[in-house]
Amino acid sequence: MVDQDYFCEMYNIHMITKTDYVTFRSCPRAYYYQLNDPQQAKATDEVAQKRIDEGKLVGNYAHLFFANTVKIKDNPDMANMANQVAITKKLLPTSNYIAEASFQFDDLFCAVDILAKNGNGYDIYEVKASTDAYKHLKEYAPDVAFQKYVLELCGLEIKNCYILHLNPNYIRNGQIDVKQMLVPYQLNALHEELKDKQKVANYFQDEYELLPSNIATMRKLNKLPTYGNCDKSCDFYAFCHSNLPQPNVLDLCGMWKSKAHALIENGIITFQNVLDNKERLAEFKVKLNHYQMIQMQTHLANDQKPYVNKEIINHFFKTLKFPLYHLDFETMNEAVPPFDGAGCYQQIPFQYSLHIQEAINGKTIHKEFLADKLDSEYELAKQLCKDIPLNAMSVSYNMTFEKTVLKHLATRFPDLSDHLMNIHDHMIDLLVPFRDCCFYSVKQNGSNSIKFVMPAICPQTAQAYHNLKQVHNGGEALTLFPKMLKMDQSHKLEARTNMLAYCKQDTLSMVDVLNALWKLAK
């Protein structure tokens, strides 16, 4: 190992960390921007910060998974990478488990979440605040492969590599049981139960073997690469695509980002480009559906007139049974279960809004619930059963979410299960006619979210969400709720008022959208 500052200055290169490598493998353009234009990254919002904080919390619990884990970053001498490496070197002979064990070889640096001694070698444990290691294999495998590569260059024998992740089946009962909440998933094992899927060990080995060439590419990266497979979660997504004409193939509803980027690289960028090159789309495994054709034709018409299919609308209305109970939940989903009966990332409802609609364009009655403590699921479920009678038809927008919450409540509270599942079984989805393209406006920009549909079909309410105070979307609601419980009385009252107003707007929007659909059809 050599002095990092000397090496990087001598070769005029950037120190490559495992985070850099994962970014590069995800999207080389993002890595290029990270090196050359980092100020263009999007700001970290409250939801993103919440996930960062949860990752740190899970990491702290992981330190308890093994007995007598030594934490490098608890050492007062730890000030930079070089010190981390030096402290790790001192601890290796005497410590069985080291958290944030740090290694450097030339311009490569990594800190291992937990390094475990295994005979004359070591095991790597990468901690992830996720409940499914296989689902995120494309992200996790390069991360751990990089660590294995660096540690072996430093002379260590690596025997096993694991992802230590949250157990999707863990339900809290009393104090957090770390041994039950976290489970190891071995990357250098075949996992025969995957059957016809890509064997994990083979995939991991392939990633490991790609490392030398990928690192060589990173070292000499001096111009903007072609588009990668990134999506809107990428910090540079907005900046990266800001030079593209609007709308473009990335805006096509349901279009895979990887396929859209392949089209862009081949000059098929605008909707007109797509229609002019329909015979070439098979080269990129792109098959346009009816919705996408309507979307492109509506945008290219340039008359701002929305597409309307009255047949689909009328068919939907024939399925309705009044009165309708428009239902919307607000939930939080914590990585570490906050109370007994909760699981990792389980959708925990703390609020609902209910608009009861007697008839089309008829009067509505509004009911609502907002918890005043962290675990108020029983009170919420009990009140919901009072507010929605048996066999009544409830309406949600994208009802999969509401149905998931209802199933969870029914499982947790057997005495209310029959009524909750009755609500579940009599629910209808207001998203369905829009997904079937009963209506499309250029104002939606390819989205069927009610936040886009409502102002497009009800222009008089276009500013409804914008005019709200403090809470404008579900992400802001889920981050505000736990904070609200700790506020003083005056701030708590203000937060409650704003949260109730937001959730109320969600179900009022459903009523408005339904009435607008009726007007379009009749």
CA distance 61 to 328: 34
Q: Which residues contact 510 (CB under 8 A, 6 or more apart)?
A: 326, 328, 355, 395, 396, 397, 430, 450
pLDDT attached to residue 194: 65
Q: How far apart are CA 199 and CA 194, in angstroms?
A: 7
Phi then psi for residue 395, to 5 deg, are -125, 135
Considering Cα of 307, then 312, then 318, then 319, what sign does the dihedral take? Answer: negative
The structure tokens listed for 287 are 């098959």
SS3 280: helix
430: left (phi over 0), alpha (psi -120 to 50) or beta: alpha
CA distance 255 to 293: 12
- Tell me the C-alpha distance between 188 and 152, whole Å: 15
CA distances from 442 to 238, 254, 289, 449, 471 (A): 20, 16, 17, 14, 26
Question: With 0-12 CB in 10 A as exposed, 13-18 as middle and 19+ as buried, what is 374?
Answer: middle
How high is the pLDDT of residue 315?
Answer: 96
Amino acid 461: pLDDT: 86
pLDDT (0 to 100) of residue 77: 54
- Is residue 179 within 8 Å of 350, Cβ to Cβ? no
At 32, the amino acid letter reads: Y
CA–CA separation, 59 and 165 (whole Å): 10
Q: Which regions of the chain are under pLDDT 70?
A: 1-13, 74-79, 192-198
DSSP 92-118: TTT-SEEEEEEEEETTEEEEEEEEEEE
Tokens of 201: 């060990």
Residue 58, CA atoms < 13 Å, CB-side half-sphere: 27
Query: Is the Cα torsion angle 143, 148, 149, 154 positive or negative in sign?
Result: positive
pTM of the predicted protein model? 0.90
pLDDT of residue 13: 55
pLDDT on residue 228: 75
Chain segment 150-193, per-residue pLDDT in tens: 999 999 999 999 999 999 999 999 999 999 999 999 998 877 66
pLDDT computed for residue 12 by the predictor = 47
